[in-house]
Amino acid sequence: MTALLHVDNITKRFGGFVALDGVELEVAPGERLGLIGPNGSGKSTLVNCICGTLQNESGNVLFNGHAMDGLPAHQRTHRGLARSFQLPRPFHSMSLADNLRIPLLYTVHARSGPLHSPTSLEARCHELLDMVGLSAKAKQMPRDLTQVEMRKLELARAVAAEPKLLIADESMAGLSHSEIEDILALLVRLNERGITIILIEHIMSAVMSFSQRLAVLVSGRKVADGKPQDVVRDPEVVRAYLGQ
Amino acid sequence: MDISFDLLINAIVAGLLLGGFYAAVTAGVSISFGMLDIVNIAHPAFIILGSYIAYFVNINFGIDPIIVSILMLPVFFALGGVVYQVYYLSFERRGQESLRGLAFFFGLLFVTEVTLILVFGVDYRYVEAAYIGPSLHLGVIDLPLRMLVPCISALVLFGVLELFITRTFTGRAIMAVSQDQLALQLMAADPIRIKRIAFGVSIATASIAGALLIIIQPVEPSVGREYIGRVFAICVLGGLGSMPGALIAAVLLGVVESLTATFYGPSWAPAVAFGFLLLTLAFRPSGLLGR
Amino acid sequence: MSHVNTTKFTLISIVVAALVLAFAHAMGIDYLFFAGYTILQFIVMATAWNILGGYCGYVNFGSAAFFALGAYSSVALIKFDAEIDELFPEGLAGILHHIFPLPVPVLIVIGAIVSGIVGFGMGYLTLRLRGAFFAIATLAMAVVLQTLIVNWDFVGGSRGAYIIRPENFELGALQVSYIEYLFVLMLSLAVVALVTARTIERSQLGFGFATIRDDELAAEACGVPTLRLKLIATTLSGAFMGMAGAPFPYYIGYLQPQSAFGLEYAVNSIAMPMIGGTTSWVGPLVGAIVLGSAQQYATVTISSAVNLLIVGLMLVGFVIIAPKGLLGLVQDRLRARRSS
């Protein structure tokens, strides 16, 4: 089975600083991949390079068999690659419902052609907000949300784009135990519907229970990639997290 | 067109001298734009202000313009601090620096220019000093002192700034703030205070640049606008935040402008800088030596 | 107000415009037409600027350049008309004389095309970079264009160009003073600009513009083709400014690059939307009328330099104290009253 996403030896530099050093990663269709690593290891940079927010200096990103290099971020989203931002970036001049309307109008409609009526758009926005428990706040503005609610909005907005691959970048930070369970259940449901998911998290319990496979990034390099229970026992991984 | 060697070599030399001066003009923006990420398009207005102050004191008290500008350094430094404080409180803190910050500086530029028109009128003003007029002659090369003195002063200013940034604690704190504000905070230095000092230094350089400007050429209030493009063209071409890069870019621009003025006419000179800028932005936005 | 659809709004605007015209015509004072033209011109410029600046968040400092391009396209065509007999053989000249001088509405369309193309080109070069670089590039472009015009003798260069304004405008049995004709044209242009701005604001396009203003990276991630939208905004904005400039040579009679490229156009195009309010079509309208009228008054009573100073100070003041403009202040007051 060919990989849905193939990150082929990508390198990214910021001036003299090497953020990603020859990272190689494959994600199979329908897979649940967990990506962990200490702060500053390059996880978000990797996401940015995959999604086109940043351009990598060398190496390729192949998605669904197509080369993504040089494609702007919005075209990658059109092709089925969606992500949530680690620090939420809502559209602050619009209500929550309108925030979700954007990916619906610009991605889903761009893809599928015939326009949905305003009422069905409205319904879909509510459905998405309901999915993350925010439907009561549909008409409110992002500035009225708590940090936790903003993360949920981020996730809903990424899901709104009806992706084939969803990258959830630290969506669970600050959530309570039951909220984490809810988000995990949501992600599993999405996965069962066929969406491949890369989960980037620090909350080990969530990562362990969710991931079918676990990759570890340390200082811009991938140091481990395999079954979760094997990876966490890998001495190099332990060393990276606990120090020597 | 018969290009005489004399004309060519003098055009190049004039360009080199001019470039040295442009480097001084740009030094301030290299700090505010290159390091602090503040698009201070009003910088040329401060330079023109410096020119007029030098003019006023020179005409009324006979003091050498460069001396005047040095005496005015603390005033300009304080002014820079005030402007930054307003900018920070109104825009940077609210995260709205893009649109409104630009409009703010544009407003400052405009208000300064119009105020100078009201106070001094639109006539060209110039200063008097012992070195305006005579030239050195090295064989076929003419070195007008009114260009040589500013060029040397500019290089001195540039050197002092470079030392300040790389050798003093405050200077290195400024470099740190441009790279990682959070880390600086964690080291218990107040980034806002550091930025205020940096911006103050940036505006202080305008005092000197202004005096040098009015030595090189007569000045009237709208001259500042020609310099906006030059200054940012040099910054971008040299690579933001790189002072050596700015120096090289400044000299390059000076030479090209001088050649253009000599062989195509002085009215084309302003377009050169802006043409440079547009081309650089379009094709190599990180500049020649950019990071 | 928000449930008025586009057709209704267009009709209402046309009616309002007709009323304004009827009033001005009844007064019959030429000065009203001159002053009114200036304010209408500001409405168009402010609205045009706001499409890119207020809706998308990209500041254009070169409004004067787009305006001047429209003006100088007209000058070039007017001068061309004067040279037809010298440039072409008799037969062809005869044919051309039937086409030239081009009527002002045609000049307006040409101004739109010229400025629109330049806007597109400039956008294509610089919009892939940060907003700050775009802003600086617009300043750069204004100076380059001014230098080119100053060096182009055909349109008068730095000496300027004299444009003879016809006494009257005649269409069949109708005859009005030429300034009234220009006034009507600018009034129509203002209506078109406002209707366009409002239509954009409420459309999917306007929605997309708002995401660019709010968070461009997030917009891209949501599938918004930001570069394409920005280019649309720049082209439209430039085109409208060119349209505003096209009749200007006839209005002013003597055109010099310094006045066409003057800083007043740049600062007013920014100050009016920012003082009025940048998030909707109403802001530039309010800003243009308030500031424009104040300036007309000040120029007559004080001096034009002081008047510009006041505009500059107001811009700085509003940007610091009331960033959402007059419109924002009103909205906040209404919201406070509603919740108390």
Q: DSSP labels for B225-241? A: HHHHHHHHHHHHHH-TT
- Domain presence at residue C291: no
Are C215 and C56 spatial neighbours (Cβ–Cβ below 8 Å)? no
Q: Do C210 and A91 touch (CB under 8 A)?
A: yes
The pairing of strands A196-200 and A165-169 is: parallel
Q: Do C140 and B229 touch (CB under 8 A)?
A: yes
Q: Report the distance separating Cα B221 and Cα B226, nearest Å.
A: 11
Contacts of the segment B86-93: beta carbons below 8 A, 24+ positions apart: B86/C320, B87/B38, B87/B199, B88/B192, B88/B195, B88/B196, B90/C319, B90/C320, B90/C323
- Domain presence at residue C49: yes
- pLDDT tens per residue across span A105-144: 998 887 776 666 777 888 889 999 998 888 899 899 998 9
Q: Report the distance separating Cα C300 and Cα C152, nearest Å.
A: 34
Q: Report the distance separating Cα C81 and Cα C161, nearest Å.
A: 14
**Residue B81's pLDDT is what?**
94
Q: Report the distance separating Cα B83 and Cα B93, nearest Å.
A: 14
- Domain presence at residue C83: yes
- pLDDT tens per residue across span B204-255: 999 999 999 998 888 988 888 778 878 888 888 877 667 788 888 889 889 9
**Residue A158's pLDDT is what?**
93
For residue C165, what is the DSSP state? P
Neighbours of chain B (3+ CB pairs under 8 A): C
Mean pLDDT, residues A57-73 taken together: 89
Mean pLDDT, residues B190-194 taken together: 84
**Residue A46's pLDDT is what?**
92
**Residue B100's pLDDT is what?**
81
Name every chain C residue with its beta carbon within 8 A of the beta carbon of B107: 267, 271, 312-313, 315-316, 319
Q: Which of B110-114, B131-135, B143-147 has the highest mean pLDDT?
A: B110-114
% residues pLDDT > 70 (chain B) = 90
Mean pLDDT, residues A27-45 taken together: 89
Residues spanned by the domain of C125: 6-263
In Å, how far is C228's CA from the nearest CA of chain B? 17
In this structure, the dihedral spanned by the alpha carbons of residues B267, B268, B273 and B276, taken in order and rounded to 10 degrees, is 170
> Which of C214, C215, C222 shows the shortest C-beta gap to A106?
C222
Q: What share of chain B is helix, strand, coil (3-state, %, to 5)?
A: 75, 5, 20
- Burial class for C27, CB neighbours closer than 10 Å (0-12, 13-18, 19+): exposed
Tell me the DSSP string of A4-37: SEEEEEEEEEETTEEEEEEEEEEE-TT-EEEEE-
pTM for the full predicted model: 0.88
In Å, how far is C3's CA from the nearest CA of chain A? 15
- For chain A, domains (ranges, CATH) are 5-242 (3.40.50.300)
Mean pLDDT, residues A179-187 taken together: 87
Q: Report the distance separating Cα A92 and Cα A189, nearest Å.
A: 29
Residue type at position C97: H
- Per the listing, tokens 């503040």 go with B38
pLDDT top residue among B226 and A180? A180
**Residue C2's pLDDT is what?**
54
Domain ranges of chain B: 5-283
**Residue B185's pLDDT is what?**
66
- Domain presence at residue C329: no
Q: Which residues contact C315 (CB under 8 A, 6 or more apart)?
A: B103, B106, B107, B110, C267, C270, C271, C274, C275
In Å, how far is C307's CA from the nearest CA of chain B? 10
**Domain count across chain C:** 1
For residue B83, pLDDT beyond 80: yes
Axis-axis angle for helices B43-61, B73-87 (nearest 10): 150
Mean pLDDT, residues B40-46 taken together: 91
C129 in contact with A at a CB cutoff of 8 Å?
Answer: no
pLDDT top residue among B46 and B278? B46
For residue B183, pLDDT beyond 70: no
pLDDT top residue among B39 and B139? B39
Question: pLDDT band at residue B92, thresholds of 50, 70 and 90?
Answer: confident
- Per the listing, tokens 């061309």 go with C80
Q: What are phi and psi of B40, to 5 degrees?
A: -90, 80
Name every chain B residue with its beta carbon within 8 A of the beta carbon of C57: 98-99
For residue B290, pLDDT beyond 50: no
Cα dist from A61 to A5, A86, A141, whole Å? 7, 21, 36
**Residue C1's pLDDT is what?**
42
**Residue A116's pLDDT is what?**
67
Which parts of chain C have pLDDT scores under 50? 1
Q: Which residues contact A203 (CB under 8 A, 6 or more apart)?
A: A172, A173, A180
For residue B155, pLDDT beyond 50: yes
Name every chain C residue with its beta carbon within 8 A of the beta carbon of B232: 136, 140
Question: Mutating which of C211, C222, C224 best tests the A interface, going by the most A Cβ atoms within 10 A?
Answer: C222
Q: Do B107 and C313 touch (CB under 8 A)?
A: yes
ipTM rounded to 2 decimals: 0.89
For residue B73, pLDDT beyond 50: yes
% residues pLDDT > 90 (chain B) = 20
Work out the end-to-end distance of chain C between its first and last CA atoms, rounded to an integer number of angstroms.
23
Cα dist from C123 to B253, B274, C228, C240, C259, whole Å? 24, 15, 10, 15, 25
> Which secondary-structure segment (H or E) carries C304?
helix C304-321
Q: Do C223 and A77 touch (CB under 8 A)?
A: yes
The size of the A-C interface in CB pairs under 8 A is 77
Residue type at position C206: G
- Domain presence at residue C323: no
Q: Do B277 and C270 touch (CB under 8 A)?
A: no
**Residue B291's pLDDT is what?**
39
For residue B285, pLDDT beyond 80: no
Residue type at position B10: N
Rounded to the nearest integer, the mean pLDDT of chain B is 83
For residue B50, pLDDT beyond 90: yes
Are B213 and B51 spatial neighbours (Cβ–Cβ below 8 Å)? yes
For residue C144, what is the DSSP state? H
Q: Do C319 and B270 touch (CB under 8 A)?
A: no
Cα dist from A243 to A38, A189, B223, C10, whole Å? 11, 36, 60, 69
Q: Do B267 and C137 touch (CB under 8 A)?
A: no
Name every chain C residue with its beta carbon within 8 A of the beta carbon of B115: 309
Mean pLDDT, residues B30-53 taken together: 89
The pairing of strands A81-83 and A165-169 is: parallel
Are B41 and C132 spatial neighbours (Cβ–Cβ below 8 Å)? no
The residue of chain A nearest to residue C204, with distances taken between CA atoms, is: A105
